[in-house]
Structure 1
């Protein structure tokens, strides 16, 4: 027993000497010992530098001017963690059991680089506890991960880099992060403040069984993100590899401000189209950044869309969506088409058109709506497909009901090499008065019929586009009318005093060149007349110069009576007048000819009497006068020789 007691005393003395010896070691030497032990336990190069201070029990604490944790051997981009000022505390008793239980980590202005590969490897998983490097081609860790717990992590002003293989690099500066993870197999609370564009974006998240989440397992999560313009919540499941599934709720008071805070500034959404919004959807995001939206309900500030979408988020988003809408108000898209005052008289807008949004996505979006209000145009049931490919957007009208008829065709906007617009449109059974009234403020024409047009225009504003238009088209109307002129009265009195002309049919074709519509074959059939038309409509200047020539068929000794009517001036208030000279030329050419012949005969007779002319057979009065003057001149000349 005595020898046992002596032996224990010797051991205790050795322990005391060892502890005292350790305590008497310089701090930098202790730091090197600690970094060597952490290197052995984690399999990563751990370097503690600068001014160092230590605590030993129950927490092994290190406060250092510099701390660096090396990256995995397969990650070549630099240290996983580096900072110029850090404090770290490790549970000493847990460390003796081979566990890394970090009680607290504090770092100021660190650089944190997180990397993962498609084969499942992640640089935050410590698998090489003996420091041996993995073979580059291994897909699974060769050793079990060292147990790791961080009870509390506080990081200020960090540079955070997340590099997932196959996805875009994510990098943030000025990140503040706090992690509370008191139990290794329990949940973790994370709060963060990010500044992608200078403004604070606040994040709060709860992740169940955080240790499993770090190992790549899918775990339940609750996430909330808030900015000055709005925020979102997500309740579902996620993994560190980038897989997410759950219920998303996005609500904004100013979507532009929210996007600016997230680093996507410069987006000015129209009212009713996302300027403010409340969107709910079931989402699924895969590690290769494929996003699926189902049960989508998006209130865009007055307009509500429902449906689903599949989106690829690598590079320019690739969208495939099916959307349904009830009443869709898109009047904000066409607001401000003039430059102040009455748009019908002030002309087309010269404000620059920003078409950069055409490069925001590629893909196809199918939209069905009960009715659409475009401000100037009011459409009924609509089935359409919008497709976009590298800044060339095609708006296909599969079925558009409006103005009593059906519209089909396509409209194209191309901003690949400057802005151009074009299309091919067809209308069947359309009420022309309502359509022309909404399009151009013209209310004088009525009728129902068919029309088609193909067109192309270029320019960076609406005025330039209208002045550059080229194309062609045709119109075929049934029974209708032209208000402001009564052709029956006109043909009776040649006086334009208003009224209405009713026609049975109207047909014609036209070509468009440099914004000017030219027509030469207009034909109208009236109960007792027929009418033709020719002239131009200047779309750029919003003027017209057009002549309609109605012809009464059973007058003027069955030769008919034609009265050309000229319509000219601005199309908001054109001038209508009859061309009396043309009336005479067209209808009384024979009578004028006979009258001129009688007058000529009377003049010749008078000349013969006054001059005493005697005309030879077949000789004209002019020749007779010439001969008489020559004879008289000869007689006067011959007198000189008398």
Structure 2
């Protein structure tokens, strides 16, 4: 809106200046004298490269070809204005009465080269190379600043411009410190019947080829041109949408008032305005706010309401436009759905239901574009009733997002997700390569939702609490998952595993079914994308199970050993048949490990045999053999002792 105001007013102001100064001096030398007058008062050079033709009655008119108006010294050597033809008409009868009523100002194929300097002053402000001002015609609309016969000491003539029309205009606008904006094929018309009253402006801009119509009313237009604040009402109509501003503004772009916008297709409207928008914005959009914009680049929005599709946000926001914009906002929403904005959704990145069972097929390997983290600095508070992201779904939550120099911190204060509550923060840092990390505590979350929505694993069901710290880095989701490190713990009440039934496995080795547990506790560490655990404890009806092993977060595989212990009724014997889970998350192989199950019994039988041999040897050798003593050593010592005894007898000993 600021750019549109400046384009329209600068176009009008430039033509008004030319009209006021070219038409002061009737006669054969009008062109040269007008150019001299303009240069004397503004320091600008007006040149006519083609013919200058005149009419005298009933309309005093001039048509000049190849007209150029020089630029401000600080704005460069290119002319501020060039036009193939400039036509100006005056009511001759009223001119004889001392009243200058301009009935027509038109330009064909004009080109405007507009700019602002470090102080925010535009090159269309002509404060005079000789100390003169812009003249009463440009600033106050009540006089022209010139006299008949070229005498600059005469009194000013009253000036009225009834109509201005530009056809096929082009524009280059370079605000200080910003990239130039160029537009072509601009049409403009202005009706200003009362010098002290309202001007009606109509313009057609084509920033991206499609026509964008501007229809504005500027109260006390003469004062507006002089830099004073005036009432402004403007409508902007583009393909797919329409905006409206009602308030006050000045020629430097400062404005305050109510801004509204509505579009059936926000993407179509954005494309017509030359603004890049994501495809997800191809839906109905509504915007309304009380806005205030200041010359130093600060935009304030109060009583803000935004609707996009079924999403609605209200609140307030402030934006400071600088090299890296700074945004502060407090927003509230209802049921929000931003799943359409989720980029890079891959069929292989889903929640473990792919069915291929390939360990490496899960995580996307496409490069992540995290450049958006450096587009702006921000401090945004957001609360909502629910939020669907296309991956993780949240309930009523309060979030805080801060962004500073390509580093974003999202705080959960708390957030309702996975059926419970999560507190803590997640950090994304793109200052020297992308890394993500966080520290979260959670209570009452559903494990099947948490593991399913974040890691694509939904075989573990139950309500849990715990803590998680993690850190990963890389250029893709796959690289980040394979680099993860961290630690954590969790505790769960009643729940179940799907895919195997421990009781059935222990009875017959069968597979399938579910295992119901009463309690689960575990701690874990993460390194190089592998989660390792040594102290899993699961309490089940009639027995307990311990577990240890590796879960490949990066490779999406598992190698884990459950060791259930079943106490036989009325006996002290404990039956243990470990269950090994190995393979991909999608289709792991789950079967009892009989080697692990028989090993304790084999060890028991072996020990019992050793004890019997030790007892027999003790009886035969008539020597006590200690349990810790090696049987071979004991037998060797007994043989050596017997040999010594027999040798002594042979030599005549006892």
TM class by shorter chain equals 0.7 to 0.9
DSSP 3-state at the match of 2:439: strand
Give runs of aligned pairs for residues 22-421 of structure 1, distance below 5 A.
Answer: 29-37=29-37, 44-57=44-57, 59-70=59-70, 79-91=79-91, 101-114=101-114, 132-133=130-131, 146=144, 148-162=159-173, 171-265=182-276, 267-270=277-280, 275-334=283-342, 337-339=345-347, 344=352, 345=354, 347-421=362-436
Task: Return the offset for 1:133.
Answer: 1.9
Query: Cα–Cα, structure 1 residues 96 and 169, in superposed 2: closer, same or farther, change >3 Å?
Result: farther
TM-score of the superposed pair, with normalisation by structure 1: 0.77
Cα offset, 1:400, TM superposition = 0.8
From 451, 454, 464, the equivalent of 1:449 is: 464
Deviates more, 1:448-457 or 1:279-288: 448-457
Q: Is 1:431 aligned to residue 446 of structure 2?
A: yes
- Cα deviation for residue 565 of structure 1 reads 0.8
The gaps in structure 2 that reach 5 residues or longer are 1-24, 134-138, 145-157, 355-360, 616-631, 640-654
Distance (whole Å) between structure 2 residues aligned to residue 72 and residue 91 of structure 1: 32
Per-residue deviation, residues 99-150 of structure 1 (Å, max 9, x unmatched):
765432222332334566798976656666xx73259xxxxx9xx9746543
CA distance in 2, matches of 1:327, 1:567: 40
| Contact kept in structure 1, 2:163 and 2:191, CA below 8 Å | yes
Are the equivalent residues in 1 in contact too, given 2:207–2:272 (CA < 8 A)?
A: yes
Q: Is the 8 A contact 1:41 1:98 kept in 2?
A: no
Q: Contact 2:533–2:548 at 8 Å: present in 1 too?
A: yes
Question: Using the alignment, how far apart are the partners of 2:343 and 2:113 within structure 1?
Answer: 48
Name the CA shift for 1:489/1:62 in 2 (closer, same or farther; >3 Å). closer
In the alignment, which residue of structure 2 is the partner of 1:632? Answer: none
Say whether the 8 Å CA contact 1:339–1:350 is kept in structure 2: no
1 CA distance for matches of 2:350 and 2:125? Answer: 68
Q: Which has the larger radius of gyration?
A: 1
| Aligned residue among 458, 483, 491 for 2:473 | 458
The answer on whether the counterparts of 2:563 and 2:577 sit within 8 Å (CA) in structure 1 is yes
Encode CA deviations 1:50-76: one digit per residue, 9 max, x unaligned. 222122455442222232345567876
State how many pairs are aligned: 573
- Partner Cα distance (1:595, 1:120) in 2: 100
Unmatched segments (≥5 aa) in structure 1: 1-21, 136-140, 602-615, 624-642
Q: Is the counterpart of residue 512 in structure 1 residue 542 in structure 2?
A: no
Q: CA 1:102–1:594 in structure 2 vs 1: closer, same or farther (change >3 Å)? A: same
Give the conservation status (yes or no) of the 8 Å contact 1:530–1:553.
no
Matched residues in 2 for 1:587 and 1:330: separation? 59
Partner Cα separation in structure 1 for residue 37 and residue 633 of structure 2: 142
* Structure of greater relative contact order (alpha carbons < 8 Å, 6+ residues apart): 2
Give RMSD over aligned pairs: 4.0
Q: What TM-score results when the alignment is normalised by the length of structure 2?
A: 0.76
User: Distance between the aligned counterparts of 2:456 and 2:73, measured in 1?
Assistant: 73
After superposition, the C-alpha distances for 1:245-285 in whole angstroms (9 at most, x for unaligned) are 222121223333333333333x31426xx743111222111
- Cα displacement string for residues 10-47 of structure 1 (whole angstroms, at most 9, x for unaligned residues): xxxxxxxxxxxx99x8x5x4422343455567775433
